[in-house]
Amino acid sequence: MASPQPISPRSPHVAAARRLARRGLRAKERRFLAEGPQAVREAVAHRGPEGGASLVELFATVDAAERYEEILAAAHEAGARVHFAADGTMADIAQTVTPQGLIGVCRFLDRPMSEIAGARPTLVAVLAHVRDPGNAGTVLRCADAAGADAVVLTDASVDVYNPKAVRASAGSLFHLPVAVGVPAEQAVRELNAAGVRVLAADGGGERDLDEELDAGAMGRPTAWVFGNEAWGLPKETAALADEVVRVPLHGRAESLNLATAAAVCLYASARAQR
């Protein structure tokens, strides 16, 4: 059987996908790229609030199409346009050095802050002033693994649809509700109104995580606010929280990176709540 005819690298479909590397055009089109079989598999399975598939278009090399036949079948069934593409075309679209042969074009997934608060969440991660996309995606993955109900990115944080953030989330972006561009004051106000206690994670906190656990206060609905890895939370953001809590360092390390600290805090809350 002859190989499928690959899409032309000058196709408007290729040009449109390539443009999604830029944040402004992602926001305009409300589309983003998901690279690799894991992310594309989650995109195919995900359904938006109206019931439609999140994946709208798929580019695949012939080798990847043979290797991940079930993903292509699911994409066809979901109504996504499927294009075969040569390696050079995939490299032109992709944001990685070594593309994995599948690139999906997906609809934005974010939900309004009011919807997240209205669902009466019990565990939320709030990213305030987090600028590194890899950190944002990894914290989202940690929140998903800990069983969090949602992730909120403030208006001072990185774009969660940045290709590096999408890759770092390892598919978790498709697993739980995400709100983006929310002012920190609004996020805290709406979470408090929903009965959620807001804790700011900061190395300068007066109380440490062990003290919070010993006091028996961690079982309540909780939102953790995490700041920039390099300079932490701004004072005005930390002041919004009900408590500022530090992760205790029992060894000689001076600090933890953002994703590790987030995992410690989120899992502490998850365990207390269970």
* Model pLDDT for residues 35-81, shown as the tens digit of each residue: 999 999 999 999 877 777 899 999 999 999 999 999 999 999 999 99
Q: How far is CA 192 from CA 34, 122, 125, 223, 245, in A?
A: 34, 12, 14, 9, 17
d(CA 264, CA 208): 12
d(CA 108, CA 184): 21
Closest to 106 measured CA to CA, from 145, 169, 37, 48: 48
| Residue 82 backbone phi and psi in degrees, to 5 | -115, 125
d(CA 142, CA 208): 20
Q: What is the pLDDT of residues 238-272, one digit of tens each?
A: 999 999 999 999 888 888 899 999 999 999 999 99
Closest to 244 measured CA to CA, from 272, 206, 273, 190: 206
Q: Are 150 and 176 in contact (CB under 8 A)?
A: yes
d(CA 169, CA 159): 13
Q: What is the pLDDT of residues 176-188, one digit of tens each?
A: 999 999 999 999 9
CB-based burial label for 146 (10 Å; 0-12, 13-18, 19+): buried
| Residue 22 backbone phi and psi in degrees, to 5 | -100, 130
d(CA 236, CA 256): 22
Give the pLDDT confidence score for residue 3 in this predicted structure: 59
Q: Are 107 and 54 in contact (CB under 8 A)?
A: yes
Question: 117 CB contacts (<8 Å, ≥6 apart)?
Answer: 190, 191, 193, 194, 196
Average pLDDT over residues 222-251: 91
Q: To the nearest whole number, what is the mean pLDDT of the chain?
A: 93
Q: Is 80 exceeded by the pLDDT of residue 98?
A: no
Tokens 């589309």 belong to: 31
pTM of the model: 0.92
Average pLDDT over residues 218-230: 92
Give the pLDDT confidence score for residue 241 in this predicted structure: 95
Q: Is 50 exceeded by the pLDDT of residue 1?
A: no
20 Ramachandran zone, left/alpha/beta (phi>0; psi -120 to 50): alpha
Q: What is the pLDDT of residues 9-34, one digit of tens each?
A: 999 999 999 999 999 999 999 999 99
Give the pLDDT confidence score for residue 94 in this predicted structure: 87
* pLDDT over 90, % of the chain: 80
- In single-letter form, the type of residue at position 253 comes to A
